Structure 1
């Protein structure tokens, strides 16, 4: 509450205004778009002058910035000379293994930022038009903004600087000296994806693809898989009317669409031995909900990891497969496409003289998964619950050094879901199964009664590790519970724990 401001929600330390929240007229939320806004340019450096690079047949001077990095235990700083071309800084001094000079171009450094102006205008916006006008200054990072107001209107707007390339789509490093691959501008704001009061009467974004194939501009090739968005649509359309409690259930949902598809083939396997028979029992009874107390979820997830290895590693080779394994969306969608074809050539292990089928590879993967789980937890499948593998640790930068981790870090704690459930707790398949991505903030706004709105973030309101509010929200976040978004001044005063007075001076 302040002159011209009446807003509540979530923000970042040091940032003026509220990033996600509501005022007395409108509410908004965001998910990441993930556009391709970074390019690498191969530069030709003048052999006679390392401070010049070639562009269209002429040598251009680069900007040189001297960076001094203070290092503990040293008197003299580490000095880094940064060479900045028309495409951005040359990154070879800080990225190992590069054979050619590479300049890094990124929208976050290519243009002056007006982000704070956008945030403050967003907080003051009273309607759809003012909301969109505020987002014209939102350059980086591009977000899927969803909107609703007290008049019953809803909308979606994607803002951000998305480059238009003269040639190519920035997928691989390109020659920087020819001028063929320059950015010619940015997608005009009026042509960025947007919708207002769609006939569906709802809008869903979950990092998924937001444009049709015939959209005239390139945004990205790497969208999130559509499973989370599809599940939200299924839940939104399951009832005629939805309450705050219904939205709480949606945000907590851990139904796993990919497992429903793949498990039907896994469940058809004939168990070989008593351990496989005991391990198959929870899979036969599974409701495809990836809860922390589910043995079926753990068995499925380890089997899936082995299935990816046994299907693709022999063709891709170890080095390329290692990169592919980290691209969870790609191998989930690839397996979804081929799983119905029992004789698809990808299932054949090219390192053996036999021709393997889907069921051969599934059987091998299932047996390997039981070996992994049995070695880790003993030969008792009911105890192989997902939460023993899938845990979240809230790491602090200072907690990377022992024994400071015991002071600054919180966890590990078992959590529901994974990267393809609405309650997103993703992990890196190259280092399974510890959580790497979480829902950092949840919010449900009741625009018919703003005092009925709720939210929750991950850890606590204090950044001081010995403060009682440093990590007190973790159990409620873990359980997908909420606290009220206190709105009117009377409710805030009645619930206050203390009063901090900041006096200019």
Structure 2
């Protein structure tokens, strides 16, 4: 994809360079959406008013809900049509038809996973009410595509994507795609199985993920690990893992994180509840993931952010309830190790019986200028067992032998008559909102919410299977008797949650949120508890909080993980002549990951090299790389190892006549860390700064690398924080230290202020190049500034910069 988009960007840049100002203005004005005056929107029952503020945020005023949703679809398409078409082509597995063979692996992945197929099947199961909710939005998208082709983005035309009519099934497929991006457990299963294959079960279980909920009073970290270590099946598969092409390009977790919290009236200065949320995503490609919007009818008053292609809002507030989301990481995927019938390769064995594979044959269209007609076709044969698609079975790929991996996922099986987001705009209080959250089967969110009466709560969404036998942390063998080992689903009202706790605050940070004594396996892949613990340290001791207090907490860069390893680093290096200066830097550091300091950079380099040195000798470079690239898999477990510095895991198996400890691993890691930092920022530690390495680089989708990024809206900003702090900045373990997952948006709601919510967006409202609303909010975000998103209609009117009327 990059090569095609790069050519498009270069074409725009050359046009500007050759044509000077006139050409620049032509490109700037071409395809500019109309945001003033009258426009037609077929299907409306009455005119709809759209007002936009100084940041381009649209506020939609309609006479009824159907017209509101039609207008939201229309306005979203005005601002994000190219993004929406690229997203749709992605989850439908149709990128190659426009972008060529470079995107073929993505298309194969989406076809095998069946995102489009599952969305279509689910759409057929919707109730009339739910279908209508999505159809209104689709009608607005299609009205824009059909009625105003001349103002479609020139970028869309340049790339070669031709907008086609949308269907309800496309919106439902988006929900299924979001579900897939949340469901990263199967990658953790792959890592776990690699450890079993390499080490055997007994040794592997010692470094399986460790989950800790700090709220638990009567359990140790060992028991909180759940049944993962005891119920895992010990089968050594010895598969050709390098051929597991269905997994993402690396095993690095999606980075889907986030913080959210709410405080009760007793903790706020206004005497009302407050809710805060900052979803962590890879938001580097402008204009970003979220589309801010205000929605108004006689029955609806809401402002917040939506995903383009999804009606309503997912983060923000309605008339009575404010809400935000994090990824809950509920385990809704299992890998099954299936066996081909040795007597018939077209069958598989199930419960002692030979069953035929279900087969779907598809054809992927690939753009190729050298082929007759400009396209080639690639056949794709997808085999299924009754549990799901065979993910290791593609032409020329897949492990050898009679074992196959099959991916089972709830999004291929759970087709409820509603999606569950339909009632978020109208929930009258926190209890009603909780009931709406419980309707969500797909998308494993932790919702934190509060209402104007002072109630606060959190609840995990999603249909999570109850399993018999082994838990879901490892690839599993099908039941020998052919039965279904997904026996039920965790009751929705028993899903992890909390309502009006005595402490007057709730929060989630992708950590283990299970209540103490939770009777079911929920997941074994969650964030370490550093961020949640830090939330509790601040919220649990602070009274009379203001918006600015919450804003400061969102930008808090206190690294609690560093408290665990830092003392050992100092002790190991302070008497090392070659590296005692590193120990001095850390000794003078207070654990705050400030961009202007050298210490966070030194710490991250030593942390990285120490864990590499701890695991590579036992696991080998390839397996260690895969495990360490999956941050959540190992971080909490490594902390536990640090507490026992003479652990066998610190002993280097390559030196049989010596028993190494943690201190030895650190001293061996220091020269490697120093060499990497000197290569990065020179030999003088006095010139080292965390922010010089830890940056966020915003880019146009048309120009992700190379010269000219700035002309297309891109820019780079230094950032404090790290993957372990509330002010998030996760980097790829194999490519330190540029942040690729960070706060994509920040929203704070104070029910004491009915004029506005306060927000920042790492992006902009519009995808159009050479226009300010592509990146104006990102520039404010880079300066740690926030702005009002207006909630009161009179404030919207007072701050309107553009006035548009949509008429039938």
> Normalised by the size of structure 2, how large is the TM-score?
0.58
Instruction: Tell me how far 1:7 sits from its aligned partner.
Output: 0.8
Which residue number corresponds to residue 300 of structure 1? Answer: 603
Per-residue Cα deviation, 1:371-399 (whole angstroms, up to 9, x for no partner): 22113221111221112222223456554
Match of 1:71 among 347, 366, 391: 366
Q: 1:14 aligns with which of 296, 302, 309?
A: 309
1:4–1:65: structure 2 CA closer, same or farther, 3 Å change rule? farther
Instruction: Work out whether 1:255 is the aligned partner of 2:550.
Output: no
**Aligned mate of 2:423, from 98, 107, 121:** 121
- Aligned equivalents of 1:236, 1:458: Cα separation in 2: 25
Q: Does 1:227 align with 2:522?
A: no
Residue pairs, 1:207-226, within 5 angstroms: 207-212=510-515, 214-226=517-529
SS for the counterpart of 1:499 is strand
1:357 Cα offset (Å): 3.0
Structure 2 equivalent of residue 309 of structure 1: 612
Shift of 1:229: 0.3
Partner of 1:270: 574
The Cα of 1:276 is off from its aligned counterpart by: 3.5
Q: Which residue of 2 aligns with 1:102?
A: 405
C-alpha separation in 1, matches of 2:554 and 2:773: 24
Find the residue that maps to 2:723 and give its secondary structure.
coil
Deviations 1:129-172 (A, max 9, x none): 32122123211211111111111111111121101123322333
Q: 1:237 aligns with which of 532, 535, 540?
A: 540
In 2, are the aligned partners of 1:114 and 1:138 still within 8 Å (CA)?
no
2:745 — aligned with what?
441
2: distance between equivalents of 1:196 and 1:53? 48
Structure 1 residues 366 and 450: CA distance shift in structure 2, 3 A: farther
Deviation digits for residues 185-219 of structure 1 (CA, Å, limit 9, x no counterpart): 21111221232111111101100101145311111
Q: Give, in angstroms, the shift of residue 349 of structure 1.
A: 2.4
Give 3-state SS (helix, strand or coil) of 2:610's partner.
helix
- The CA RMSD measured in Å over matched residues stands at 2.6
Which residue number in structure 2 is paired with residue 197 of structure 1?
Answer: 500
Are residues 1:471 and 2:766 paired? no
For residue 455 of structure 1, what is the aligned residue in structure 2? 759
CA gap of 1:225–1:125, structure 2 versus 1, over 3 A, is same
The equivalent position to 1:81 in structure 2, one of 371, 381, 386, is 381
Q: Point out the more displaced range, 302-311 or 98-107.
A: 98-107
| More moved, 231-240 vs 261-270 | 261-270
Q: Which 5+ residue runs of structure 1 have no aligned equivalent?
A: none
Cα pair distance change 1:503/1:82, threshold 3 Å: farther
Q: How many residues align?
A: 502
**Further displaced range: 341-350 or 4-13:** 341-350
Residue 417 of structure 1, aligned match among 721, 735, 752: 721
Higher relative contact order (CA 8 A, sep 6+): 2
1:56 aligns with 2:351: yes
Q: Which of residues 23, 27, 43 in structure 1 aligns to 2:318?
A: 23
1:152 to 433, 436, 454: 454
CA contact (8 A) 1:399 1:409 kept: no
Q: Tell me if structure 1 keeps the 8 A contact 2:441–2:462.
A: yes
CA distance in 2, matches of 1:66, 1:344: 52
Q: Could you say which residue in structure 1 is the equivalent of 2:251?
A: none
My pick for the range that moved more, 52-61 or 23-32, is: 52-61
CA distance in 1, matches of 2:302, 2:529: 33
More displaced 10-residue stretch of structure 1: 336-345 or 83-92? 336-345
**Secondary structure in structure 1 of the residue aligned to 2:752:** coil
Range with bigger deviation, 224-233 or 453-462: 453-462
Alignment-derived partner of residue 169 in structure 1: 471
